[in-house]
A = this chain, B = another copy of it.
Amino acid sequence: MQAVLDAVVEPRRREILRLVRRTELPAGAIAAQFGDVSRPAISQHLRVLRDAGLLVERREGTRRLYRTRPAGLGELRAFLEEFWDTRLEALRQEAEQEQRSRDHEQTERPERRGGKRGRRG
């Protein structure tokens, strides 16, 4: 997953993903979209994206056609959803809290701002 993040954080690689998201394109056509970077540079970017599972490659004669792999973006998306989504953690914490409130009848609410009790395991 870290490889996916490293791949996506590069602006040109994101642009490549945009280019071949709907239609596959040969490497040369992709490189032609970048006027300020050489073709080998794009080739290296393509390798990074492919190794990260974000692109699929299909050979046709001497050309190599690339296209975004939807599953790759899906995995990335799922990872990030889980990362910043409080719901999962909230559910977990609520479960723990419920468990605790069954043991102790004392109702505690550490969600208040400036919680002094930072006891965390």
What residues of chain A have their CB less than 8 Å away from a CB belonging to chain B? 2, 5-6, 8-9, 11, 14-15, 18, 21-25, 29, 34-36, 38, 73, 76-77, 80, 83-84, 86, 89, 93, 110-119
In the complex, the answer to whether B21 meets A11 with C-beta atoms within 8 Å is no
In the complex, the answer to whether B86 meets A77 with C-beta atoms within 8 Å is no
In the complex, the answer to whether A15 meets B73 with C-beta atoms within 8 Å is no
Of chain B, the residue at the smallest CB distance from A29 is: B118
Given contacts A22-B86, A73-B84, A77-B80, contact A35 B117 (CB under 8 A): yes
Copies per assembly: 2
In the complex, the answer to whether B83 meets A22 with C-beta atoms within 8 Å is no
In the complex, the answer to whether A9 meets B5 with C-beta atoms within 8 Å is yes
| 6 nearest A-B pairs in the assembled complex, by CB-CB distance | A36-B114, A9-B9, A73-B84, A36-B116, A5-B9, A23-B115
